[in-house]
Amino acid sequence: MGRTLNQIAVVTMMNLRSIPQRLWTSLSTVIAVAFVTGVLLAFLAMANGFAATVKGSGASDVAVFLRKGSEGELNSVLERGQTQLIQEAPGIAKGADGKALTSPELYVIVDGIKKSSRTKANLPLRGLGPLADQVRKGVRISAGRMFRTGMNELVVGRAVSKQFEGFELGRQIRLASQNWTVVGEFETGGTVFESEIWADVAVLQNLYQRGSTVQTVRVRMDSPASLQKLRDYSDSDPRLKLDVQSETEFYTGQSQGMNDMIMFMGWPLAIAMSFGALAGALNTMYASVDARLREIATMRAIGFGGLPAFVGTMTESLLLSAIGGVLGTLFCYLLFNGISAATMGGSFTQVVFAFKFSGALILQGVILALVIGFVGGVFPAWRAARVPLLAAFRAG
Amino acid sequence: MTFLQLIRKNLFRKKLRTTLTVVSIFIAFLIFGILASFQSSMNAGVDLAGADRLIVTNKINFTLPMPIAYVARTAAVPGVQRVAHASWFGGYYQEPRNFLVAFAIDPAPYLDIYPEYILPPAQREAFLRDRTGLLVGKAVADAYGWKVGDRVPIKSNIWRQKNKSDTWTFNISGIITGKETRVDTNFVMFQYEYFKETRDVGGDTVGWMILKTADTKENERIMRDIDALFANSPFETETKTEQAFNKAFIEMMGDIGSIVLYVVGAAFITILLVVGNTMMLTVRERTNEIAVLKTIGFTAQRVFALVLGESMLLALIGGVLGVLAAFLITSAIAQSVSVLATMTLTLDTAIIAFVLMALLGLLTGLLPAIRAMNIDVVTALGRK
């Protein structure tokens, strides 16, 4: 047993020491594996970043009321009477003055100019109710100030001012023959809301001729468990019969389609490319075995077993692909981590998100690299283990 | 043995190695073919946009409406030949995930403005006569197995009928096919009059207008005139060419072009390395043999051509197979996914693929070929 281990160590070292003799071949395997890992990770990081932004947007103790079947905020309409009924629902947290913490909101779309492509893109303009700051936690004004009630004033999310033109602080904007001023910029910790523009709901109702209707009502619940109470309340009143979701559920649903699409592209691409890299790895390792045919046969002749030859070749292959995997991960991380991108989210509007890596993702990349190394090594290693002794005399 | 035979024999001497290399080239071209077809289908709206068509939308954003009175006022602008309008319905069939691109149109002018939609005259007549008629694009008809004469309920996630129902029922009067594969037919259309009379809100508004100009040279002026006409009203407009409008819409999805370029680029660099490396190995192993060829009278040029020919053949076999497979796969996707019904491997893509094959063969064969050409007979044979 000890002898076999010793033999394995010797043969493995010989394999590894001989890599520089096949520098270009080995390097091509490393780089091929690096590219495959890099492409897979780029897609995974994109899907992960998008999901983190959208899912992270929801609070579990905020409920959203939408018209049944409306799918997104843009399509929903709630009448004034419904807004008032919601305020009387059970399970809603109360403010200092005893008022139910609800925010009737409008959600319309305005154009922004994407800085990267200089083309127009849809941005959500949200009208907030007077109690919105108590319903939504974690909003911080990072520049300027909040809009004032009843004024034509806007505050813009941090992602909007970074990625889009036309919403700089102090800028005048014309919407439907009225002038608006950008008075502030807000942060919500990298959520979807940072891709939005906010204003006073009453002013927007007027501008968009919506009368007293709104699109959604958000409420702060006294606990996440109150969601069921709100649902029962809504279902039992024929005037309501609305879709009630926690914000967490709502945004998880909104992210699903995009997430599926990225994964749908990323994995098949990575797997297809893996086959290409695998062909390279196999060629490299077969070449490695062929080049040492005489050496292996000689060692067999002086008493080395087949197992050490197998393990030596396997180790070489795994090492090369592991190096490739690590390089690909590193390269992809340096190139993409934290890079911002924008795409269409729910309701045809833009969602700004950042590529995001995580340990779990990197693990997937490295596993893929090692699988290529394993499959690319196992067949050549099998050949190495079965080199006939006669080859020592025939080869060369 | 002819020269070509020699190349072929050389290529298939190490069957396993050649097969593996062909597989990797095959995959690179498969990826290229599918992604290029996907991109071309995304861009079809831009490439096929009528130069004489303009789109008028609400200036704040295209999701906002405008009064129907704008249609007549726009038609009066000099140089405007025909005006139609359309309104977004937010439709789906049975379940929200069966999303339908559905809109209400001003029937006759709309069909006149889009000559790339092929509709049998009898079906067109039937649609114009039936207030509750529905025109179905071929992609949708195929997806749901709908036929002319079927009665289908379509739900809206935006609108309600006056009786609060979210379902409108239509008679299918006709199936629209595209003049060519890339024309998108993933839509259904119905009469605006029926829609306006039954919906509970919205009144006399429409979503957007499409117009045809008499002379494309006048487009710039017509766009300015229309927007000036409605300036300072509660519904200001923005007029764009159809091409510019479609381009902006696609770009909202993100930079698809760059993603395709990066992925294809990465795949090709990988394959370049794999194939180039294999060719190098091959030449190194055949050093003796090449020296023998030279001894029996092969010129350096012929040896060069022999190696380069081998790498070219390799790239061609893998590449052609890859493009063929991509063609089959895109056709299958186009038939099963109605959103991607316009996906097709175009002639342009195939031509680019051939150029790439030539480049790949050249790049991977050049260095080994030079090396083979420079092999010194005495040293090579003396090495033994």
Question: Would the CB atoms of B267 and A273 count as touching at under 8 Å?
Answer: yes
- Please report the pLDDT score of residue A394 as a whole number: 63
Nearest to B21 among A269, A279, A341 (CB): A279
Q: Does one domain contain both A278 and A185?
A: no
Q: Does one domain contain both A312 and A285?
A: yes
Distance from CA of A277 to the nearest CA of B (A): 7
CA distances from B303 to A32, A83, A97, B172, B312 (A): 29, 85, 93, 68, 14
* Strands (E) located in chain B: 53-58, 66-67, 80-88, 91-92, 99-100, 102-105, 117-118, 133-137, 151-156, 167-178, 188-191, 205-206, 208-213, 237-241
Question: Would the CB atoms of A176 and B60 count as touching at under 8 Å?
Answer: yes
Residue at B243 is within a domain:
no
- Please report the pLDDT score of residue A393 as a whole number: 67
Residue at A370 is within a domain:
yes
Is B280 in the A-facing interface, judged by CB distances under 8 Å?
yes
Q: Does one domain contain both B88 and B203?
A: yes
If one counts the domains in chain A, the total is 2
ipTM value for the complex: 0.78
Q: Using alpha carbons only, what angle is made at residue B365 by residues B361 and B369, rounded to the nearest 5 degrees?
A: 150
Q: Does one domain contain both B144 and B182?
A: yes
Question: Would the CB atoms of A343 and B281 count as touching at under 8 Å?
Answer: no
Q: Does one domain contain both A143 and A50?
A: no
Tokens of B350: 């195939």
Tell me phi and psi for residue A274, to 5 degrees. -60, -40
Q: Which amino acid makes up residue A361?
A: L
Residue from B18, B27, B329 to probe the interface with A (highest A Cβ count within 10 Å): B27
Residue A51: Cβ-neighbour burial (10 angstroms; 0-12, 13-18, 19+): buried
Averaged pLDDT score across all residues of chain A: 87
Q: Does one domain contain both B209 and B313?
A: no
Tokens of B132: 């509750």
Q: Does one domain contain both A151 and A279?
A: no
Is B102 in the A-facing interface, judged by CB distances under 8 Å?
no
Q: Does one domain contain both B269 and B326?
A: yes
Question: Would the CB atoms of B270 and A74 count as touching at under 8 Å?
Answer: no
Nearest to A32 among B30, B158, B274 (CB): B274
Q: Given A211, A241, A271, which residue is the final one in a domain?
A: A241
Written as one string, the DSSP assignment of A289-348 is HHHTHHHHHHHHHTT--HHHHHHHHHHHHHHHHHHHHHHHHHHHHHHHTT-EEEEE-GGG
Residue at A249 is within a domain:
no
Q: Does one domain contain both B88 and B228?
A: yes
Q: Does one domain contain both A342 and A370?
A: yes
Residues 6 or more apart in contact with residue A205 via CB below 8 angstroms: A106, A127, A211, A212, A213, A214
Residue from B30, B39, B61, B339 to probe the interface with A (highest A Cβ count within 10 Å): B61
Residue at B246 is within a domain:
no
Residue at A83 is within a domain:
yes
Q: Given B181, B203, B235, which residue is the final one in a domain?
A: B235
Nearest to B63 among A25, A31, A109 (CB): A109
Residue at B54 is within a domain:
no
Q: Are B310 and B279 in contact (CB under 8 A)?
A: yes
Tokens of B166: 């979210």
Q: Does one domain contain both B91 and B195?
A: yes
Dihedral, CA atoms, B216, B218, B224, B226, nearest 10 degrees? Answer: -80
Chain B residues with beta carbon closer than 8 angstroms to that of A32: 270, 273-274
- Please tell me which of A47-51, B67-71, B88-92 the model is most confident about, judged by mean pLDDT: B67-71
Q: Does one domain contain both A93 and A217?
A: yes
Q: Does one domain contain both A89 and A209?
A: yes
pLDDT value at B95 more than 80: yes
- Please report the pLDDT score of residue A176 as a whole number: 64
- Please report the pLDDT score of residue A342 as a whole number: 80
Q: How many helices (H) and strands (E) does chain A have?
A: 12, 13
Q: Does one domain contain both B289 and B198?
A: no
Is B236 in the A-facing interface, judged by CB distances under 8 Å?
yes
Is B262 in the A-facing interface, judged by CB distances under 8 Å?
yes
**C-alpha span between A264 and B180 (Å, rounded):** 28
Q: Does one domain contain both B85 and B7?
A: no
Q: Given A241, A267, A295, which residue is the final one in a domain?
A: A241
**C-alpha span between A267 and A284 (Å, rounded):** 25
H-state helical runs in A56-173? 80-87, 132-135, 158-163
Residue at B10 is within a domain:
yes
Placement of tokens 């340990």 in the chain: A359
Average pLDDT over residues B25-39: 91
pLDDT value at B57 more than 70: yes
Chain A residues with beta carbon closer than 8 angstroms to that of B252: 119, 121-122, 343-344, 348, 350
Distance from CA of B63 to the nearest CA of A (A): 7
Neighbours of B193 (CB within 10 A): 12
Q: Given A241, A272, A301, which residue is the final one in a domain?
A: A241
- What does the pLDDT look like over A185-216, one tens digit per residue? 999 988 889 999 999 999 988 887 777 889 99
- Please report the pLDDT score of residue B1 as a whole number: 62
pLDDT band of residue B43 (cuts 50, 70, 90) is: confident
**C-alpha span between B95 and A289 (Å, rounded):** 59
If one counts the domains in chain B, the total is 2
Exposed e or buried b for every residue in B332-345, given b needs 16+ CB within 10 A? ebbeeebebbbbbb
Q: Which structural domain range is residue A83 located in?
A: 68-241
- What does the pLDDT look like over B274-293, one tens digit per residue? 888 888 888 888 888 888 88
Q: Does one domain contain both A99 and A237?
A: yes
Dihedral, CA atoms, A229, A233, A235, A241, nearest 10 degrees? Answer: -120
Residue from A212, A282, A375 to probe the interface with B (highest B Cβ count within 10 Å): A282
Q: Does one domain contain both B23 and B128?
A: no
Q: Judged by CB atoms within 8 Å, which residues 309-338 of B form the interface with A?
A: none
**C-alpha span between A230 and A65 (Å, rounded):** 9
Q: Does one domain contain both B319 and B356?
A: yes
Question: Would the CB atoms of A39 and B263 count as touching at under 8 Å?
Answer: yes
Tokens of B98: 């069966």
- Please report the pLDDT score of residue A113 as a whole number: 85
Share of chain B above pLDDT 90, in %: 52
Residue at B50 is within a domain:
no
- Please report the pLDDT score of residue B349 as a whole number: 92
Q: Given B181, B204, B235, which residue is the final one in a domain?
A: B235
Q: Which structural domain range is residue B67 located in?
A: 60-235
Residue at A82 is within a domain:
yes
- Please report the pLDDT score of residue A396 as a whole number: 45
Residue, of B254 and A329, whose pLDDT is higher: A329
Q: Are B346 and B40 in contact (CB under 8 A)?
A: yes
Tokens of B82: 């025909």
Q: Does one domain contain both B168 and B90?
A: yes
Residue at A280 is within a domain:
yes
Question: Would the CB atoms of B157 and A70 count as touching at under 8 Å?
Answer: yes
Residue at B13 is within a domain:
yes
**C-alpha span between B38 and B344 (Å, rounded):** 8
**C-alpha span between A289 and B104 (Å, rounded):** 69
Q: Does one domain contain both A85 and A28?
A: no
Q: Using alpha carbons only, what angle is made at residue A255 by residues A254 and A258, rounded to the nearest 5 degrees?
A: 115
CA-wise closest residue to B207 among B356, B315, B101, B290: B101
Residue, of B169 and A309, whose pLDDT is higher: B169
Measure CA B108 to chain center.
28
Nearest to A75 among B27, B90, B201 (CB): B90
Q: Which residues pair with B169 in a beta bridge?
A: B153
In chain B, % helix, strand, coil (3-state, to 5) comes to 55, 20, 25
Question: Would the CB atoms of B20 and A272 count as touching at under 8 Å?
Answer: no
- Please report the pLDDT score of residue A280 as a whole number: 83
- What does the pLDDT look like over B143-168, one tens digit per residue? 899 999 999 999 998 888 988 888 99
- Please report the pLDDT score of residue A365 as a whole number: 92
Q: Are A44 and A228 in contact (CB under 8 A)?
A: no
Q: Are A346 and A122 in contact (CB under 8 A)?
A: no
Residue at A190 is within a domain:
yes
Q: Does one domain contain both B119 and B151?
A: yes
Nearest to B31 among A120, A209, A272 (CB): A272
Averaged pLDDT score across all residues of chain B: 89
Pairs of CB atoms within 8 A across A/B: 138
Chain A residues with beta carbon closer than 8 angstroms to that of B233: 177
Q: Does one domain contain both A111 and A29?
A: no
Q: Does one domain contain both A223 and A107?
A: yes
**C-alpha span between A233 and B320 (Å, rounded):** 64
Is B340 in the A-facing interface, judged by CB distances under 8 Å?
no
Q: How many CA atoms lie within 13 A of B367 on its CB side?
A: 14
Q: Which residues in chain A come in under a pLDDT of 70?
A: 1, 176, 346-348, 392-396
Chain B residues with beta carbon closer than 8 angstroms to that of A25: 277, 280-281
Q: Does one domain contain both A170 and A104?
A: yes
Q: How many helices (H) and strands (E) does chain B have?
A: 15, 14
Residue at B242 is within a domain:
no
Nearest to B254 among A24, A74, A343 (CB): A343
Residue at A96 is within a domain:
yes
